[in-house]
Amino acid sequence: MANIATQRIKREFKEVVKSEEVARCAIRIDLVNDSWSELRGEIAGPPDTPYEGGVFALEIVVPETYPFNPPKVRFLTKIWHPNISSVTGAICLDILKDQWAAAMTLRTVLLSLQALLAAAEPDDPQDAVVARQYKEYHNIFKTTAQHWTAVYAGGPNRIAEYENRVTRLIDMGVDELTARAVLSANNWDLERATETIFS
């Protein structure tokens, strides 16, 4: 990797390790390999959101042209959010695309992602299904996001009723991941979910 990128990542790594957010356990960065080109990030779900109590892992790939081009960031932990793909974890955030600026750092990126969890932009969605639910059935969206946080990110509010429906689908021979995803996409309507899967 180009020297400037490595140098900067090393500095930023120190910056994150020393930052007060780490002290509050809000963000964290770990190394994946020795080349400093791939990192593992972690952000805590912001308080007063459906993501509260969860810890979300992120894959950070630093391009050779960093910091002139943004790092490639993706959610590794599955998450139910209009601007994050519920399948791939791809993120729709302007600063990770054309609004990137060279003075931004890994710390500011992680904090921006945390802010994105607190303030979704359903009109500029990455996951159209989630975005529609966010706009049309906001309460279902909130409980679904809570449920996903509990299942995949260690959050506190696992919703028993949703879990029952997932179990019903699993009993029909559907794998758990698909069952949960399809139920979530169908506003937890068991009949419609079954139709989607088996039609």
CA distance 155 to 48: 13
28 DSSP β-pair partners: 42
- The contact set with other proteins (CB under 8 A) reads 4, 7-8, 11-12, 14, 65, 67-69, 101-104
3-state secondary structure labels for all residues of 80-142: CECCECCCCCEECCHHHCCCCCCCCCHHHHHHHHHHHHHCCCCCCCCCHHHHHHHHHCHHHHH
Q: How far apart are CA 134 and CA 49, in angstroms?
A: 13
Handedness of CA 151, 155, 159, 162 (dihedral sign): negative
- Both tokens of 189, joined, read 């309507």
Is 25 a known active-site residue?
no
Q: Shortest approach of other proteins to residue 12 CB, angstroms?
A: 7
Output 87 or 115, the one with its CB closest to other proteins.
115
Q: How far is the CB of 105 from other proteins (least distance, A)?
A: 8
Instruction: Output 111 or 140, the one with its CB closest to other proteins.
Output: 111
| Minimal distance, residue 14 CB to other proteins, in Å | 6
Peptide bond just before 70 cis, omega within 30 deg: no
Active-site option among 5, 39, 92, 166: 92
Q: Which is nearer to other proteins, 4 or 172 (CB)?
A: 4
Nearer to other proteins, 69 or 88 (CB): 69
Residue type, 12: E
* Residue 70: CB minimum distance to other proteins, A: 11
**Residues annotated catalytic, as ranges:** 92
